[in-house]
Chains A and B, each alone.
Chain A
Amino acid sequence: MSQSHEVPAMVEVYKKLFVLLVSVTALGIVLTVLHMPIAVTIIISLIIIGVKGKIVFDSFKHLLLGKNILILVFGLTIFFFLVILLLPFFNHENPITGTRDISKEIQAQEPAAEEHHGH
Protein backbone atom coordinates (compact mmCIF):
# COMPACT_ATOMS: atom_id res chain seq x y z
CA MET A 1 0.00 0.00 0.00
CA SER A 2 2.76 2.48 0.86
CA GLN A 3 6.22 3.05 2.31
CA SER A 4 6.71 2.52 6.06
CA HIS A 5 6.89 6.22 6.93
CA GLU A 6 3.52 6.75 5.28
CA VAL A 7 1.76 4.17 7.45
CA PRO A 8 0.53 6.52 10.24
CA ALA A 9 -0.72 9.01 7.63
CA MET A 10 -2.55 6.23 5.79
CA VAL A 11 -4.15 5.03 9.04
CA GLU A 12 -5.41 8.59 9.68
CA VAL A 13 -6.91 8.72 6.18
CA TYR A 14 -8.72 5.41 6.74
CA LYS A 15 -10.00 6.53 10.15
CA LYS A 16 -11.44 9.74 8.68
CA LEU A 17 -12.92 7.76 5.79
CA PHE A 18 -14.82 5.38 8.04
CA VAL A 19 -16.00 8.13 10.40
CA LEU A 20 -17.34 10.02 7.37
CA LEU A 21 -19.01 6.89 5.99
CA VAL A 22 -20.69 6.13 9.32
CA SER A 23 -21.92 9.73 9.57
CA VAL A 24 -23.36 9.72 6.05
CA THR A 25 -24.90 6.27 6.65
CA ALA A 26 -26.56 7.59 9.82
CA LEU A 27 -28.01 10.42 7.73
CA GLY A 28 -29.46 7.83 5.35
CA ILE A 29 -31.09 5.94 8.22
CA VAL A 30 -32.63 9.18 9.54
CA LEU A 31 -34.28 9.58 6.13
CA THR A 32 -36.23 6.35 6.60
CA VAL A 33 -37.48 7.54 10.00
CA LEU A 34 -38.68 10.92 8.69
CA HIS A 35 -41.23 9.31 6.29
CA MET A 36 -40.76 11.81 3.48
CA PRO A 37 -42.37 11.36 0.05
CA ILE A 38 -40.76 8.47 -1.81
CA ALA A 39 -39.47 10.67 -4.66
CA VAL A 40 -37.68 12.97 -2.19
CA THR A 41 -36.29 9.96 -0.30
CA ILE A 42 -34.94 8.42 -3.51
CA ILE A 43 -33.29 11.68 -4.63
CA ILE A 44 -31.68 12.31 -1.24
CA SER A 45 -30.60 8.65 -0.97
CA LEU A 46 -28.98 8.79 -4.41
CA ILE A 47 -27.16 11.97 -3.37
CA ILE A 48 -25.97 10.16 -0.21
CA ILE A 49 -24.74 7.19 -2.29
CA GLY A 50 -22.92 9.65 -4.58
CA VAL A 51 -21.34 11.43 -1.62
CA LYS A 52 -20.19 8.09 -0.18
CA GLY A 53 -18.67 7.12 -3.52
CA LYS A 54 -16.90 10.48 -3.73
CA ILE A 55 -15.51 10.11 -0.18
CA VAL A 56 -14.15 6.63 -0.98
CA PHE A 57 -12.71 7.74 -4.33
CA ASP A 58 -10.98 10.72 -2.71
CA SER A 59 -9.46 8.42 -0.08
CA PHE A 60 -8.20 5.82 -2.54
CA LYS A 61 -7.40 7.95 -5.58
CA HIS A 62 -3.73 8.13 -4.66
CA LEU A 63 -3.65 4.36 -5.25
CA LEU A 64 -5.33 4.67 -8.62
CA LEU A 65 -4.24 7.93 -10.20
CA GLY A 66 -0.80 7.97 -11.75
CA LYS A 67 -1.11 4.28 -12.58
CA ASN A 68 -2.17 4.28 -16.21
CA ILE A 69 -3.17 0.64 -16.25
CA LEU A 70 -5.57 1.11 -13.31
CA ILE A 71 -7.10 4.21 -14.88
CA LEU A 72 -7.66 2.12 -18.02
CA VAL A 73 -9.08 -0.86 -16.11
CA PHE A 74 -11.47 1.16 -13.97
CA GLY A 75 -12.31 3.53 -16.82
CA LEU A 76 -13.44 0.52 -18.89
CA THR A 77 -15.24 -0.92 -15.86
CA ILE A 78 -17.23 2.26 -15.32
CA PHE A 79 -17.97 2.54 -19.05
CA PHE A 80 -19.30 -1.01 -19.35
CA PHE A 81 -21.15 -0.67 -16.05
CA LEU A 82 -22.99 2.34 -17.47
CA VAL A 83 -23.68 0.40 -20.68
CA ILE A 84 -25.16 -2.47 -18.66
CA LEU A 85 -27.15 -0.02 -16.58
CA LEU A 86 -28.58 1.97 -19.47
CA LEU A 87 -28.96 -0.69 -22.17
CA PRO A 88 -32.34 -2.04 -20.97
CA PHE A 89 -33.88 1.43 -21.21
CA PHE A 90 -33.30 1.49 -24.97
CA ASN A 91 -35.30 -1.70 -25.47
CA HIS A 92 -39.03 -0.92 -25.59
CA GLU A 93 -40.03 -4.05 -27.52
CA ASN A 94 -39.42 -6.60 -24.83
CA PRO A 95 -41.11 -5.62 -21.54
CA ILE A 96 -40.71 -7.94 -18.58
CA THR A 97 -43.77 -10.14 -18.29
CA GLY A 98 -45.69 -9.64 -15.10
CA THR A 99 -44.24 -6.28 -14.20
CA ARG A 100 -46.63 -4.04 -16.18
CA ASP A 101 -49.30 -2.06 -14.37
CA ILE A 102 -52.39 -4.24 -14.81
CA SER A 103 -54.67 -2.15 -12.59
CA LYS A 104 -56.19 -0.33 -15.62
CA GLU A 105 -56.77 -3.62 -17.43
CA ILE A 106 -58.58 -4.99 -14.35
CA GLN A 107 -60.69 -1.82 -14.11
CA ALA A 108 -61.63 -2.19 -17.76
CA GLN A 109 -62.61 -5.82 -17.26
CA GLU A 110 -64.72 -5.21 -14.14
CA PRO A 111 -67.68 -3.38 -15.83
CA ALA A 112 -67.79 -6.07 -18.52
CA ALA A 113 -67.89 -8.81 -15.89
CA GLU A 114 -70.64 -7.03 -13.93
CA GLU A 115 -72.65 -6.67 -17.13
CA HIS A 116 -72.24 -10.39 -17.80
CA HIS A 117 -73.47 -11.28 -14.27
CA GLY A 118 -76.41 -8.91 -14.71
CA HIS A 119 -77.69 -10.93 -17.62
Chain B
Amino acid sequence: MSAETIPYTVDERPDTGFNNATLGIWLFIASEIMLFGGLFSAYVLLRTSAANWPVGASILNIPLATLNTLILVISSIAVVFAWAALREGNFEKFKKFWMVSILCGIGFLVLKTIEYKIKFHHGLYPSTSTFLATYFTLTGLHAIHILGGIVVNTYLLLPGSKMHKEDPHRYVHRIEIAGIYWHFVDLLWIILLFPVLYLL
Protein backbone atom coordinates (compact mmCIF):
# COMPACT_ATOMS: atom_id res chain seq x y z
CA MET B 1 0.00 0.00 0.00
CA SER B 2 1.32 3.42 -0.87
CA ALA B 3 1.00 6.33 1.52
CA GLU B 4 -1.36 8.93 0.11
CA THR B 5 -1.66 12.51 1.29
CA ILE B 6 -5.16 13.64 2.13
CA PRO B 7 -5.84 16.60 -0.18
CA TYR B 8 -6.75 20.09 1.04
CA THR B 9 -4.81 19.89 4.30
CA VAL B 10 -3.87 23.55 3.93
CA ASP B 11 -5.38 24.75 0.66
CA GLU B 12 -9.05 25.64 0.47
CA ARG B 13 -11.40 23.20 -1.19
CA PRO B 14 -13.06 24.72 -4.25
CA ASP B 15 -16.51 23.43 -3.26
CA THR B 16 -16.69 24.59 0.38
CA GLY B 17 -14.20 27.46 0.44
CA PHE B 18 -12.44 25.81 3.43
CA ASN B 19 -9.71 23.30 3.85
CA ASN B 20 -10.62 20.00 5.51
CA ALA B 21 -9.48 20.87 9.03
CA THR B 22 -11.29 24.23 9.15
CA LEU B 23 -14.54 22.75 7.93
CA GLY B 24 -14.03 19.87 10.35
CA ILE B 25 -13.61 22.12 13.38
CA TRP B 26 -16.69 24.19 12.49
CA LEU B 27 -18.75 21.00 12.10
CA PHE B 28 -17.37 19.77 15.42
CA ILE B 29 -18.32 23.06 17.09
CA ALA B 30 -21.83 22.81 15.61
CA SER B 31 -22.16 19.32 17.15
CA GLU B 32 -20.85 20.67 20.47
CA ILE B 33 -23.46 23.43 20.39
CA MET B 34 -26.11 20.72 19.97
CA LEU B 35 -24.62 18.72 22.87
CA PHE B 36 -24.64 21.66 25.26
CA GLY B 37 -27.91 22.86 23.69
CA GLY B 38 -29.59 19.58 24.67
CA LEU B 39 -28.32 19.89 28.23
CA PHE B 40 -29.33 23.55 28.37
CA SER B 41 -32.79 22.57 27.14
CA ALA B 42 -32.98 19.99 29.96
CA TYR B 43 -31.92 22.73 32.41
CA VAL B 44 -34.70 25.06 31.18
CA LEU B 45 -37.31 22.28 31.39
CA LEU B 46 -36.22 21.21 34.88
CA ARG B 47 -36.10 24.78 36.12
CA THR B 48 -39.50 25.76 34.74
CA SER B 49 -41.06 22.54 36.09
CA ALA B 50 -39.53 22.79 39.55
CA ALA B 51 -41.60 24.01 42.47
CA ASN B 52 -38.53 25.60 44.00
CA TRP B 53 -35.28 26.45 42.27
CA PRO B 54 -32.44 28.17 44.12
CA VAL B 55 -30.66 31.24 42.78
CA GLY B 56 -27.16 30.10 41.83
CA ALA B 57 -25.52 32.83 43.91
CA SER B 58 -27.12 31.43 47.07
CA ILE B 59 -25.35 28.06 46.73
CA LEU B 60 -22.41 28.54 44.36
CA ASN B 61 -19.17 30.42 44.89
CA ILE B 62 -19.41 33.61 42.79
CA PRO B 63 -15.89 34.97 43.57
CA LEU B 64 -14.21 31.69 42.51
CA ALA B 65 -16.32 31.48 39.35
CA THR B 66 -15.56 35.15 38.54
CA LEU B 67 -11.86 34.43 38.93
CA ASN B 68 -12.28 31.43 36.60
CA THR B 69 -14.04 33.68 34.07
CA LEU B 70 -11.12 36.12 34.13
CA ILE B 71 -8.68 33.22 33.75
CA LEU B 72 -10.49 32.02 30.64
CA VAL B 73 -10.60 35.54 29.18
CA ILE B 74 -6.83 35.87 29.73
CA SER B 75 -6.38 32.43 28.21
CA SER B 76 -8.30 33.40 25.06
CA ILE B 77 -6.31 36.63 24.70
CA ALA B 78 -3.07 34.63 25.11
CA VAL B 79 -4.18 32.30 22.29
CA VAL B 80 -4.79 35.29 20.01
CA PHE B 81 -1.34 36.75 20.82
CA ALA B 82 0.27 33.33 20.30
CA TRP B 83 -1.41 32.95 16.92
CA ALA B 84 -0.37 36.50 15.91
CA ALA B 85 3.24 35.81 16.99
CA LEU B 86 3.32 32.62 14.95
CA ARG B 87 1.93 34.41 11.90
CA GLU B 88 4.72 36.98 12.29
CA GLY B 89 7.25 34.13 12.43
CA ASN B 90 8.22 34.70 16.07
CA PHE B 91 8.18 31.11 17.36
CA GLU B 92 9.65 31.87 20.80
CA LYS B 93 7.00 34.51 21.48
CA PHE B 94 4.35 32.08 20.30
CA LYS B 95 5.57 29.41 22.72
CA LYS B 96 5.36 31.84 25.67
CA PHE B 97 1.80 32.93 24.93
CA TRP B 98 0.69 29.38 24.12
CA MET B 99 2.15 28.24 27.45
CA VAL B 100 0.20 31.02 29.21
CA SER B 101 -3.04 29.75 27.68
CA ILE B 102 -2.26 26.18 28.81
CA LEU B 103 -1.44 27.35 32.33
CA CYS B 104 -4.67 29.33 32.43
CA GLY B 105 -6.55 26.17 31.44
CA ILE B 106 -4.82 24.24 34.24
CA GLY B 107 -5.58 27.10 36.65
CA PHE B 108 -9.25 26.91 35.67
CA LEU B 109 -9.35 23.18 36.42
CA VAL B 110 -7.57 23.66 39.77
CA LEU B 111 -10.12 26.28 40.83
CA LYS B 112 -12.95 24.09 39.61
CA THR B 113 -11.59 21.19 41.67
CA ILE B 114 -11.40 23.45 44.75
CA GLU B 115 -14.99 24.55 44.11
CA TYR B 116 -16.15 20.92 43.85
CA LYS B 117 -14.25 19.98 47.02
CA ILE B 118 -15.95 22.80 48.94
CA LYS B 119 -19.33 21.55 47.72
CA PHE B 120 -18.57 17.95 48.72
CA HIS B 121 -17.25 19.14 52.08
CA HIS B 122 -20.63 20.76 52.73
CA GLY B 123 -22.45 17.59 51.72
CA LEU B 124 -23.60 19.00 48.38
CA TYR B 125 -23.50 16.24 45.75
CA PRO B 126 -25.15 15.78 42.35
CA SER B 127 -27.73 13.61 44.12
CA THR B 128 -28.58 16.37 46.62
CA SER B 129 -30.90 18.33 44.33
CA THR B 130 -31.88 18.78 40.70
CA PHE B 131 -30.10 22.13 40.66
CA LEU B 132 -26.82 20.57 41.83
CA ALA B 133 -27.22 17.65 39.41
CA THR B 134 -27.56 20.15 36.57
CA TYR B 135 -24.66 22.23 37.88
CA PHE B 136 -22.26 19.28 38.18
CA THR B 137 -23.28 17.86 34.78
CA LEU B 138 -22.84 21.11 32.86
CA THR B 139 -19.67 22.31 34.60
CA GLY B 140 -18.19 18.79 34.66
CA LEU B 141 -18.70 18.35 30.92
CA HIS B 142 -17.22 21.78 30.31
CA ALA B 143 -14.21 20.91 32.51
CA ILE B 144 -13.66 17.75 30.43
CA HIS B 145 -13.61 19.95 27.31
CA ILE B 146 -11.04 22.22 28.95
CA LEU B 147 -8.95 19.16 29.83
CA GLY B 148 -9.16 17.95 26.21
CA GLY B 149 -8.06 21.38 25.00
CA ILE B 150 -5.10 21.36 27.41
CA VAL B 151 -3.99 17.94 26.13
CA VAL B 152 -4.16 19.04 22.49
CA ASN B 153 -2.49 22.41 23.14
CA THR B 154 0.30 20.75 25.14
CA TYR B 155 0.86 18.28 22.31
CA LEU B 156 1.08 21.15 19.82
CA LEU B 157 3.57 22.95 22.08
CA LEU B 158 5.85 19.99 22.77
CA PRO B 159 6.08 17.02 20.35
CA GLY B 160 3.77 18.56 17.77
CA SER B 161 5.96 21.66 17.39
CA LYS B 162 8.43 19.67 15.28
CA MET B 163 6.07 20.35 12.42
CA HIS B 164 6.95 24.04 12.63
CA LYS B 165 10.36 23.25 11.11
CA GLU B 166 9.14 20.66 8.62
CA ASP B 167 5.89 22.24 7.43
CA PRO B 168 5.37 25.69 9.03
CA HIS B 169 2.28 26.58 7.01
CA ARG B 170 0.49 23.46 8.19
CA TYR B 171 1.63 24.02 11.78
CA VAL B 172 0.21 27.57 11.79
CA HIS B 173 -3.00 26.11 10.50
CA ARG B 174 -3.13 23.52 13.27
CA ILE B 175 -2.67 26.29 15.83
CA GLU B 176 -5.55 28.23 14.25
CA ILE B 177 -7.81 25.17 14.50
CA ALA B 178 -6.84 24.52 18.13
CA GLY B 179 -7.39 28.24 18.79
CA ILE B 180 -10.93 28.14 17.37
CA TYR B 181 -11.77 25.21 19.68
CA TRP B 182 -10.24 26.98 22.68
CA HIS B 183 -12.22 30.16 21.97
CA PHE B 184 -15.41 28.09 21.74
CA VAL B 185 -14.80 26.41 25.10
CA ASP B 186 -13.98 29.75 26.73
CA LEU B 187 -16.98 31.52 25.23
CA LEU B 188 -19.25 28.68 26.30
CA TRP B 189 -18.31 29.42 29.89
CA ILE B 190 -18.33 33.22 29.59
CA ILE B 191 -21.59 33.56 27.67
CA LEU B 192 -23.68 30.63 28.86
CA LEU B 193 -22.52 28.57 31.85
CA PHE B 194 -21.33 31.34 34.17
CA PRO B 195 -24.38 33.63 33.83
CA VAL B 196 -26.97 30.83 33.66
CA LEU B 197 -25.72 28.70 36.56
CA TYR B 198 -24.13 31.27 38.85
CA LEU B 199 -25.99 34.53 38.28
CA LEU B 200 -29.56 33.50 37.45
Contacts and interface: CB of A to CB of B under 8 A. Distances in A.
Q: Verify that A and B bind, or say they do not.
A: yes
Interface of A: 1, 4, 7-8, 10-11, 14-15, 18, 21-22, 25, 28-29, 31-32, 38, 41-42, 45, 48-49, 52-53, 56, 67-70, 73-74, 76-77, 80-81, 84-85, 87-89, 95-96, 99-103
Interface string B23-38: 1001100100110011
Interface of B: 16-18, 23, 26-27, 30, 33-34, 37-38, 40-41, 44-46, 49-51, 55, 57, 62, 66, 69-70, 73, 76-77, 80-81, 83-84, 87-88, 130, 176, 179, 187, 190-192, 194-196, 198-200
Contacts of A96: 45-46, 49
A57 to B, nearest CB: 10
A84 B41 contact: yes
18 contacts: A7-B84, A22-B69, A32-B199, A45-B199, A45-B200, A56-B187, A69-B16, A70-B18, A74-B30, A77-B37, A81-B33, A81-B34, A81-B37, A89-B45, A96-B45, A96-B49, A99-B50, A103-B51
A31 B84 contact: no
A41 B199 CA distance: 8
A55 B49 CA distance: 31
A96 B112 CA distance: 30
A32 B200 CA distance: 8
Contact of B41 (A1, A21, A85, A101): A85
A80 to B, nearest CB: 6
User: Would you list the 4 A-B pairs with minimal beta carbon distance, nearest first?
Assistant: A101-B51, A81-B37, A99-B49, A14-B80
B73 A102 contact: no
A95 B49 contact: yes
B26 A84 contact: no
A92 to B, nearest CB: 11
B83 A1 contact: yes
A29 B66 contact: yes
B18 A69 contact: yes
Contact of A56 (B41, B55, B191, B199): B191
B23 to A, nearest CB: 7
B200 A41 contact: yes
Contacts of A95: 49
A101 B151 CA distance: 45
A67 B38 CA distance: 26
Given A49-B195, A100-B51, A25 B69 contact: yes
B153 to A, nearest CB: 16
Contacts of A38: 55
A7 B87 contact: yes
A55 to B, nearest CB: 9
Contacts of A45: 195-196, 199-200
A29 B84 contact: no
Contacts of A4: 87-88
Best-surrounded residue of B18, B81, B195, B196 (most CB of chain A within 10 A): B195
